[in-house]
Amino acid sequence: MSEPSKLYEESGKVKVSISPWRLQTLSKEALNDLEKFWAEQARQLNWTKYWDRTLEWDPPFARWFAGGLLNASVNCLDRHLDSETRNKAAIVWEGEDGQSRTLTYFELYRQVCKFANVLKRYGVTKGDRVTIYLPMVPELAIAMLACARIGAIHSVIFSGFSSQALVDRVNDAQSKVIVTADGGIRKGKVVELKKVVDEALPSTPSIERVIVLKRAAIEITLGPNHVWWHEAMKGAPHVCIPEAVESTHPLFILYTSGTTGKPKGVMHGTGGYLTHVLSTAKWVFDFQKNDVFFCTADIGWVTGHSYVVYAPLMCGVTEVMYEGAPDFPGPDRYWAIVEKYGATILYTTPTALRMYMKYGDSIPESFDLSSVRLLGTVGEPINPEVWMWYHRVIGKERCPIVDTWWQTETGGIMLGMCTGIEMVPMKPGSATFAMPGIEAGVVDEKGDAVPLGTKGYLVIRRPWPGMLLSLWGDDEKYKATYWSRFPGTYYPGDYAMIDKDGYLWLLGRADDVLKVAGHRLGTMELESAFVAHRSIAEAAVTSRPDQVKGESIVAFIVPKEGIAKSLELRKQLLDHIRATLGAIAVPEEVYFVDKLPKTRSGKIMRRLLKAVASGGTVGDTTTLEDGAAIDEVRKAYEDLKHEVVHT
């Protein structure tokens, strides 16, 4: 891990300050008086009434800006209507099928007001839940902001989920309305969303109305309480007086799916959440007046909520929204979009970058990416080798890279570089430092801080405004899930390390830490070592039970285009791991595949790999992007299990 960092630091390609004094000073001041610091940040928002108390902390429950009144829709739209931003592009949308649309801030405001009035017409009031099951189209953001405008709580469900996933989430939230579409477009095919909703409706008795957007132009049947979006919008008033809600009023519920049990409904408030995402967006991305921000996340995930909808609109920048796959019809879609719209900031996933990296440098180098001034990553730690490729090929060695760590539960970015405060030396693969006002640490099994350079468990020691209010309808599960491992401290479930310079490194989920002959190895360490080999595009590491070692390491490897899958390559990789990480990290088994099983948000589904390697059942595959990937993994395992290299 240290070698790419060392190489980069010695290259001198990016001019940065040597000592992060401004950032250190601000962070120290923030932690010395946490309430004063966050109160100053909150004053960037438009409030109907200022708060009485900055923080009411009854561990583990936080009420930020209690007594304050505001509206999220107003902070995204109305605040710009008396400025030059009024007629600026808010959303530039492109579909996989080549369609495109642009909505100015004023046009977006009008559409939000109209749809808010539609919801009111159908009986939606403050506190009611509205399920939104839409593809990546502007109407998704419109529906969210319309809910916020009238104080309703939106629950966006990723459009790749099945009818059973929809049933579970609708029933847990007791939603009153579902907003969906006839279909969405993905990899050249229509995803029939209304059909999925129809399958779910008999098991969702709380639903009173279904509103359907015409997107894919396919034939569907409307039931007695179903209505077309465009028909409902006809005649809806253009003005909707916003509902001033309490700062602690829930803005949204977003469900996180675990490997077992029912999904958890993460509930975020209004004032604290908006304060956090607005502040972090300014610190990390240093938004400028003319920025065109391309965040590739689906709004069905928290990154889309925070940094496609709420933060960019509050900051008044132009954002690019894309519906479709990054590699359809070819592995160049993101680069084509950057060139077409002159994107100045690209915020994407390491998974997408590894996929693009697999196809070589010539494809991105055939596009004009000169508009980009800042690159970012999100979703999982970035491998140092992938970081270097991103910096060299996409950023042309002139663009800073912000690698960010955060979760659905944290609301916004918690770790990352703050280019809007001060540039600091970059270390490929490191999440850099905690955001101002965030106290992060690494502890051992007992909860005691570990020395610098020692691996342990990431914790957050103090409350922050973007933290979840609780889990919807389940305070006890909230306490047990996040606050019981290290009492009084938030535990996100990640394995990490702080190096001698104070930089934070994420080493994978703690559940994925491998225990081999008494040694703890993070999956991220192993995967990064594989990807550092010149022949490898992607790697996923898991384990299976071993009577002697406890666990033995199993690796699934995707070679780069044109690289033959051979026993010789296996031997090279094993030698490479032995030289890089030591003999204890050498895998017992190595399998070559063309693709890894991933969710549509780009995360590798390691539990599926573990199930295959251990001979278990794969379980729920609802979020799997491509079912053929797991079939290929199974086939590789069956074909080669008697021929694998044993070490």
**pLDDT, tens only, 557-612:** 999 988 999 999 999 999 999 888 888 889 988 999 888 887 766 678 877 888 78
Measured between alpha carbons, how far is 501 from 23 in angstroms, rounded to an integer? 14
How many other C-beta atoms are found inside a 10 Å radius of the C-beta of residue 84? 9
Judge contact between 413 and 284, C-beta under 8 A. Answer: yes
Name the percent of the chain lying above pLDDT 70.
90
Res. 50: pLDDT tops 90: yes
Among 344, 367, 368, 277, smallest CA distance to 315 is for 277
SS3 368: coil
Residue 373 DSSP label: -
Fold of the domain spanning 513-640: GMP Synthetase; Chain A, domain 3 (3.30.300)
93: which strand partners?
101, 321
Measured between alpha carbons, how far is 429 from 388 in angstroms, rounded to an integer? 9
pTM over 0.85: yes
138: which strand partners?
none
Residue 98 DSSP label: S
Measured between alpha carbons, how far is 37 from 30 in angstroms, rounded to an integer? 5
Measured between alpha carbons, how far is 324 from 340 in angstroms, rounded to an integer? 16
Most confident of 224-228, 527-531, 592-596: 224-228
Res. 646: pLDDT tops 80: no
89: which strand partners?
104
Task: Give the tens place of pLDDT for each residue, 359-394.
Answer: 999 999 999 999 999 999 998 889 899 999 999 999
Q: What pLDDT does residue 624 have?
A: 63
Task: Give the tens place of pLDDT for each residue, 278-332.
Answer: 999 999 999 999 999 999 999 999 999 999 999 999 999 999 999 999 999 999 9
> What's the whole-number average pLDDT of the chain?
90
Pick the CATH number of 2-438 from 3.40.50.1390, 1.10.150.110, 3.40.50.300, 3.40.50.12780: 3.40.50.12780
How many other C-beta atoms are found inside a 10 Å radius of the C-beta of residue 104? 17
Dig out the tokens for 179 from the structure: 């907003």
When pLDDT is averaged across residues 527-540 and rounded to a whole number, the result is 91
Residue 277: phi, psi to the nearest 5? -70, -35
In the chain, where the domains are located: 2-438, 513-640
Measured between alpha carbons, how far is 425 from 440 in angstroms, rounded to an integer? 20
Res. 17: pLDDT tops 60: no
When pLDDT is averaged across residues 200-213 and rounded to a whole number, the result is 98
